[in-house]
Amino acid sequence: MPTGRHDGTDLGQFKPPYMPFATLWSFVESLAQRPLPPRIDRSLMGSKSGTDQANLISTLRAFDLIDGEYRVQTLRDLAVADEEARRAKLADLLRKYYPDAVAVSDQDGTEQQLSEVFRDKYSLSAADTRRKAQTFFLHAMREAGLKISAHFPVTRSGSGSPGTPKPKSNGRPGKPRQAVPRAVVATAAPSLPASPKGDSYAVSLKSGGTVSIDVSINIFDLSREDREFVLRLVDALKDYTAPVVKTEITD
């Protein structure tokens, strides 16, 4: 395990983020559009989910961009209006917090070597967590313009996780295999039943008042259990000795 660096960074305490990098970077870009407040809190993340908010706070603290009281630290250097300066600062952060991973990339190392760095240097033993942390790192490397080993998984903006297999087309050039499924969908769509308006069955009780049941769904859409239940209710109303009034729902 690393014990630290000459700049005082204790890499033994650094936990690589494994949230989507795009979520972090879009937030940083939004902060660059206006004066930076002295403290970062969830009121600045109103449009994001609770999970994203928690992950953002955790990631900002992991990189010492904010402190334990959410006060702005080096975030002030990252959240600048100049895009090139922002990317340069990101590159500095990656070299500082991922020195071994960056070194593997600089040496055109393999994906397995990269995975071993995240496993051994950062104690990420769970394969899924390690894969997500590598995904964050690779997208950050791409954004920062740093060299990415030719043997690492290819990442693109908006793409999935590294190593995630992409769908492959089995069709040959000039013979699109998707034409048949599209035709099937086009002909099948008109046969779908329209949403029924349904019926209402009402019973006038002998002691006064009424009891009614509204059927506003296509009975063929129900499960067998629900269908039998509804039909038993309808039969019970129709078998009641008092007159039954049937009306059509128009709404």
Tokens read off for 81:
């209006």
Greater confidence, 216 or 178?
216
Lowest mean pLDDT among 88-102, 157-171, 236-250: 157-171
Mean pLDDT of 221-236: 67
In a domain, 150, yes or no: no
Q: Over the chain, what is the mean pLDDT?
A: 77
Residue after which a domain boundary falls, among 121, 144, 167? 144
In a domain, 155, yes or no: no
pLDDT of res. 41: 93
In a domain, 3, yes or no: no
Alpha-carbon gap, residue 154 to 161, rounded angstroms:
9
Residue after which a domain boundary falls, among 144, 161, 177? 144
Q: What is the pLDDT of residues 195-220, one digit of tens each?
A: 444 556 566 767 766 677 666 665 55
Max CA pair span of the chain: 92
Give yes or no: residues 136 and 16 share one domain. Answer: yes
pLDDT of res. 62: 97
Give yes or no: residues 58 and 122 share one domain. Answer: yes
Closest CA to 97 of 81, 76, 121, 77: 121
Residue 39 DSSP label: B
pLDDT of res. 37: 96
In a domain, 152, yes or no: no
Residue after which a domain boundary falls, among 118, 144, 170? 144
Lowest mean pLDDT among 16-25, 92-101, 109-118, 211-220: 211-220
Give yes or no: residues 61 and 138 share one domain. Answer: yes
pLDDT of res. 47: 86
In a domain, 81, yes or no: yes
Domain region containing 128: 11-144
CB 204 within 8 A of CB 210: yes
Give yes or no: residues 30 and 130 share one domain. Answer: yes
**Total tally of structural domains belonging to the chain:** 2
Give yes or no: residues 127 and 242 share one domain. Answer: no
Quickly state the pLDDT bin for 17 (edges 50, 70, 90).
very high
CB 129 within 8 A of CB 18: yes
In a domain, 132, yes or no: yes
Alpha-carbon gap, residue 217 to 165, rounded angstroms:
41
In a domain, 75, yes or no: yes
Greater confidence, 232 or 154?
154
Quickly state the pLDDT bin for 234 (edges 50, 70, 90).
low
Give yes or no: residues 16 and 133 share one domain. Answer: yes
Give yes or no: residues 107 and 212 share one domain. Answer: no
Greater confidence, 196 or 81?
81
Q: What is the pLDDT of residues 21-69, one digit of tens each?
A: 999 999 999 999 999 999 999 999 988 999 999 999 999 999 999 999 9
Mean pLDDT of 176-205: 47
Give yes or no: residues 231 and 118 share one domain. Answer: no
